[in-house]
A and B are shown apart, each in its own frame.
Chain A
């Protein structure tokens, strides 16, 4: 790479552009908004898990002084839902409640205490219905009128998937060895520090503005227009900086609609901030998933076939559930060569808070099962688990059996890095009883290849506007949820224009003033918005270069933008950026540009192939050293080595931050976090008893950044926000086995389970804690699809730029 193309901003560790604002407490989150005459809203949640609403009497609440508006389901009788295939929610339910906490009415009052009191005065009469609380109950036959929803293939079954690529049975028959296992991954909440909050203001001009802590302002905008039956052009959604999202703020939520409607009714601004308890009810967190898998292997341990079933406990609404279900079967194939693959999945409705996307969306569960399974296979075949994995990794720029396009892949390097750092081959097997080491890998999307609703428009756009004074303003609907997308936007523009990130002003996440970005989900922002920002900045760059070249009589192709100058790459002849701007504006008019990004067409030739494809996959590998106290069963992760293929680290400091955050969040899921219900009632809807790790539980994490320079990512970048979570749960489970010889095939790995498994082992049992089997389910008609062989990639999509080269 010549010096001329040296990157000055990208790749340099830098503080977040909004870091100071946040760390000094100046950031304005949704709940900080305080408008004149603002009212406070409160929703009333159902107290029964499944019932018909017989009547709602709001008269006592209406009589309470200070109450300004009361609404029930009849005030907003239009359904919404994040996926067009499962629009099954009302902001306030009209005739039926499906979980304890399901909102049925809302009040706006002069203060929060009055609103709370008013809500308690609302009388609701319920007629209870039969309930389903887990996967088995969700699969059971049920009378038509007792179904949780009136759609879905049967009973409380929401979705069935039955996909077959190649010939799994034949390959299993021909395999040298066949292995089978059953696993359970429990459900847990995102536990973002900031509870959801929305402020709505309906003006005298008939325009509605909603400030909300949402990851997806565009989808809230669409849903708001539908539910309120208002033209979208009269609604403005402003996503406020999220105090953490992790997928938990990706749906449109009842409180957003209620704040809006209450503002329309009262003529005053209305704020609704959820309590922590309500956050547990609104949920949309990790789906509990029961899994069965069977693999065939040749004598080298290579996988010849994978047969996978997942049983997904969806909770009470569709949410992202159809996608989540497909995701439990989509990405098994992008890490190892799997020539024959079958995936059968079922999602059931249950009378619990609805599940949805949480960091890794539907993929940590199967990854957990697969990576523990492979650890067991390696042991049975007497193979080193790292070597076995490395011998069957997918090749770069190939297709998988289920038609996923793999571009850059640094997984081999990731495995090599962590094995070396942890001294894995030497350490494994030599640790004393109670100490263990485990490894696992994972992979995740750099953005979903398809939008949530079918359209051919860009997924993201960035507008740039250059001020005559040399100031640059970048506008995009992207929303920073703590992952650093604001920094990525500023850094990308700064890189191309030869500026520093803090030279770039940002206007973000506002449906009125910024161009489209679909939202902060599926790890799409760096990859997609980054490409759009780059394109927009390159257009401005070209104008500046042309203007300066003409003015100074230089060759435009020899000019570069760097160090706040437009100059000749060799002699340095040129001028300051701020001087170049007016010259360019005189030549071209207002210096503005737009860049957009639409992913290439990636869906395969079958129904359901829209979930899983991504323009690029990130890869990670983790090694974990644990201590397991055989007296108490307490598992203490002592060290973590994580290598992550991020394509290119736009900001290495943020990459490390995302890796460490993923490790931390994973440890919660691994060791303690779990939603527990009794007859539909959440037993621990508070941070007092819903335990998550404190910093005392956080082990040292050594992060290795692997840069595979993806051909299509901006500067080669891929995702890092979600992927590094994936290898952690199985790596810890494998380490626990290495430490004390018991298999915990069910998350979380609590001391109680470890002790039960140890007791079982003492008595001569297998020393395993986990599910015993899976239910018999008719997955419906099989969709047989010809696999794409990994060694026959179609030529047309192979990017011209390969690893190590620059775009």
Chain B
């Protein structure tokens, strides 16, 4: 096992350019879970970012917030300015428990690319963008909604690191984050929903319902079009078009479909006229 302790972002990007197989480590809360069980991990080269204070930033600009790649859930929970983006502290508070919230980063949550990630749906509902950096390519900005191509397949080149996440500051009249897990803390999401409505329209995002966290295009269209919905069953076709949940150790596909429909219906019913 080799570990490179990055001394600056520049140093980290340089290392990643020469050793694109190196695994970045931020909070380590995903990376360490499989340690030491997975023996192939012992042979890896790790790129430790954890000392890069220049990435441990939360900056409110005119029309967006920038979370540095080392910004943690706790950084958001304790920062009162995030009342402007309530889904972020809301989602953050459901991640693991306090110990994980103080170490785990938003960028790590994105890069880990778990379909069950809780930070990602909140960010995606706000049209967040991922800022990627590399030594030779400079900076590149990708919409989070376009960031995943499939299960654990990212729109990021091997030599790139996530340097920041940008979240537009918009006025939302409706928004919520709902997590259904197997217990009140320290539980991975079985069924997850984040939604937000602004002048840009509806963003309805599901986690643990498909190979990646994703926006639900058919559901968004149905809601935007004002199609009459009299109960959870009326959402079933659109949900089936958007989402393909599976049976796994935590739940069943049937449960996920049924519960997602109900959670979604009961979330939107009080706020959408088309929902009766």
Contacts and interface: CB of A to CB of B under 8 A. Distances in A.
A633 interface: yes
Nearest to B259: A632
Given A277-B37, A694-B185, 14 more contacts: A632-B259, A633-B255, A634-B180, A672-B183, A688-B33, A689-B250, A696-B184, A697-B183, A751-B182, A751-B251, A752-B251, A752-B255, A756-B254, A756-B255
B183 A691 contact: yes
| Chain A residues touching B, majority SS | loop
A683 B249 contact: yes
A632 B262 contact: yes
Contacts of B187: 691
B260 to A, nearest CB: 10
Given A688-B33, A752-B251, A633 B259 contact: yes
Interface of A: 120, 277, 631-634, 672, 676, 683-684, 688-689, 691, 693-694, 696-697, 750-752, 755-756, 759
B166 to A, nearest CB: 32
A694 B180 contact: no
| Chain B residues touching A, majority SS | loop
A148 B182 CA distance: 36
Interface string B232-248: 00000000000000000
Contacts, number: 53
A631 B255 contact: no
Contact of B255 (A672, A697, A751): A751
Contact of B249 (A120, A676, A694, A696): A676
Contacts of B190: 751
Given A683-B249, A752-B252, A694 B259 contact: no
A755 B182 contact: no
B183 A693 contact: yes
A338 B128 CA distance: 67
Nearest to A689: B249
Contacts of B149: none
Most buried by A among B183, B187, B266: B183
Nearest to A693: B183
Nearest to B250: A689
Contacts of B185: 694, 696
Interface string B260-273: 00110010000000
B230 to A, nearest CB: 15
A631 B186 contact: no
Nearest to B255: A752
Contacts of A634: 180
Nearest to A759: B258
Contacts of B266: 631
Measured as residues with beta carbon below 8 angstroms from the partner, the interface class of chain B is: 20 to 34
Interface of B: 33, 37, 39, 97, 180, 182-187, 190-191, 249-252, 254-255, 258-259, 262-263, 266
A696 B96 CA distance: 13
Given A694-B184, A694-B186, A755 B249 contact: no
A57 B147 CA distance: 49
Nearest to B190: A751
A475 B252 CA distance: 54
B255 A694 contact: no
Contacts of B33: 688
Nearest to B247: A752
B262 A631 contact: yes
A694 B187 CA distance: 10
Contacts of B251: 751-752
A683 to B, nearest CB: 5
7 contacts: A631-B262, A632-B191, A633-B255, A672-B183, A688-B33, A696-B184, A697-B183
A120 B37 CA distance: 12
A631 B263 contact: yes
Contacts of B255: 633, 751-752, 755-756
A683 B250 CA distance: 11
A672 B249 CA distance: 12
A632 B263 CA distance: 8
A636 to B, nearest CB: 9
Contacts of A759: 258
A632 B181 CA distance: 10
Contacts of A676: 249
Nearest to A676: B249
Contacts of A752: 251-252, 254-255
A265 B44 CA distance: 36
B206 to A, nearest CB: 15
A755 B255 CA distance: 7
Most buried by B among A634, A688, A750, A756: A634
A759 B254 CA distance: 11
A759 B236 CA distance: 15
A755 to B, nearest CB: 6
Contact of B182 (A277, A691, A696): A691
A672 B263 contact: no
B183 to A, nearest CB: 6
A164 B263 CA distance: 52
A544 B209 CA distance: 75
A277 B37 CA distance: 10
A440 B37 CA distance: 43
A496 to B, nearest CB: 46
Contacts of B263: 631-632
